[in-house]
Amino acid sequence: MPRSVSCRGEVYEHIETFKHDFFAATGLYRGPRGLCVLKMGRITEVFTLPTDWIGRFLARREAHFYERLTGLPGVPEFVGRVGPTGILHAFVPGHQLGRKEQVSDTFFNDLAALLGAIHERGMAYVDLNKRQNVLVGDDGRPYLIDFQISAHISRDWSRIPPLGWLLVRFQQADRYHLLKHKRRLRPDLLTDAERASVEHVSFWIRLHRVVARPLTNLRRSMLRRLGKSEMIEVSGASAK
C-alpha cells in the first residue's frame, strides 16, 4: 500500500494494511475526513498476463455503486477515486460478522431494511453469501461493504427482457442469503414463512453454487501457485 495518497485534492496517510487478496489490497488511512479505507485493485501480472484492466474495471464499478448509495445509512460514505484502480470510503468502526456472532434482536431487521433500500435504488448486492462483507458496527448495527460485483439496472433498461428478470433473481438471492445468516446466528427469530423460504433452495441458488465453487477453487489454486495464501491477514483486518 502507498504511504500516502491524494483524493480530491486532499492527502491521506497510510496507517496499516488490512489485507491482500486476489483482486485488491485494502488498508486504513487518515486524512482531512478522518479515518478512511483505501481499496486498490490488482495491477501485477499473473503468469505474464496483464490484470491492470481488471483493477480499473472493478474500481469504476464499485465507485459507481457507492455514489448511487450516497446518504444511505449502513453504507460507508464514499470519499472518491484514487488513481485508476483505487477507491476511498469512510472507515466503519466495528468488525466482520462472526461465525458465532451474538447480534441484537434488531440486527437482521436492520439488515433487511438496508437491503430493501438498496433494492429500491434499482440494485442488488449480489455478494451477501460472504458474511465477511457484513460489518457489525460498534453501534451494533449492520453495514455493507465491497460492492464490486453488485448489479444495477435502471428502470428503463429493466423493461428489456431478460434484464428486469435478472435483477429480481439477484434481489431474491440477497434475501435468501440474509435469511441463511439469520438461521445460523438467530434461528429463534425466524418466522415460519422465513424458515420455509430459507429451507427451499431454488434452482438459481443451486446454479450459483455450481458455477461459483469451481471459480473459487481455481482462484485458490492460482494463488497457491503464486506462493500466496488466499488472504494475507494483518493487524486490523477484522475492522475492515
- Evaluate whether the domain defined by 4-91 bears CATH number 3.30.200.20: yes
Task: Tell me: pLDDT of 102 over 90.
Answer: yes
- pLDDT tens column, 138-186: 999 999 999 999 999 998 988 899 999 999 999 999 999 999 999 999 9
Cβ-contact 231, 21 below 8 angstroms: yes
* Distance from C-alpha of 79 to C-alpha of 28, rounded to nearest angstrom: 13
Q: Is the pLDDT of residue 223 over 90?
A: no
* Average of per-residue pLDDT across 46-75: 87
Residue 239 has pLDDT above 50, yes or no: no
CB 27 within 8 A of CB 38: yes
Q: Note the pLDDT of residue 211.
A: 52
Q: If phi over 0 gives left and psi between -120 and 50 gives alpha, with beta otherwise, what is residue 10? A: beta
Three cell numbers written together for 13: 496517510
pLDDT greater than 90 at residue 212: no
Q: Which amino acid is at 159?
A: R
Q: Contact 64/149 with Cβ under 8 angstroms?
A: no
Tell me the pLDDT band of 20, cut-offs 50, 70 and 90. Answer: confident
pLDDT at res. 229: 43
- Fold that domain 95-225 belongs to in CATH: Transferase(Phosphotransferase); domain 1 (1.10.510)
Enter the C-alpha cell of residue 150.
453488485
Q: What percent of the chain lies above the pLDDT cut of 90?
A: 70
The average pLDDT across 59-88 equals 96
3-state secondary structure the chain: CCCEEEECCEEEEEEEEEEECCCEEEEEEEECCEEEEEEEECCCCECCECCHHHHHHHHHHHHHHHHHCCCCCCCCCEEEEECCCEEEEECCCEEECCCCCCCCCCHHHHHHHHHHHHHHCCEECCCCCCHHHEEEECCCCEEECCCCCCEECCCCHHHCCCHHHHHHHHHHHHHHHHHHHHHHHCHHHCCHHHHHHHHCCCHHHHHHHHHHHHHHHHHHHHHHHCCCCCCEECCCHHHC
* C-alpha torsion sign, points 163, 167, 169, 170: positive
- Across the range 213-227, mean pLDDT stands at 55
pLDDT in tens, 25-58: 999 999 999 999 999 987 766 556 666 788 899 9
Query: Which of the two residues, 211 and 133, has the higher pLDDT score?
Result: 133
More confident residue, 240 or 113: 113
Domain boundary assignment for the chain: 4-91, 95-225
Q: Please give the pLDDT value at position 231.
A: 42
pLDDT at 234: 37
pLDDT in tens, 112-142: 999 999 999 999 999 999 999 999 999 999 9
Q: What is the mean pLDDT of residues 11-22?
A: 90
CA distances 136 to 97, 108, 111, 211, Å, are 6, 11, 10, 29
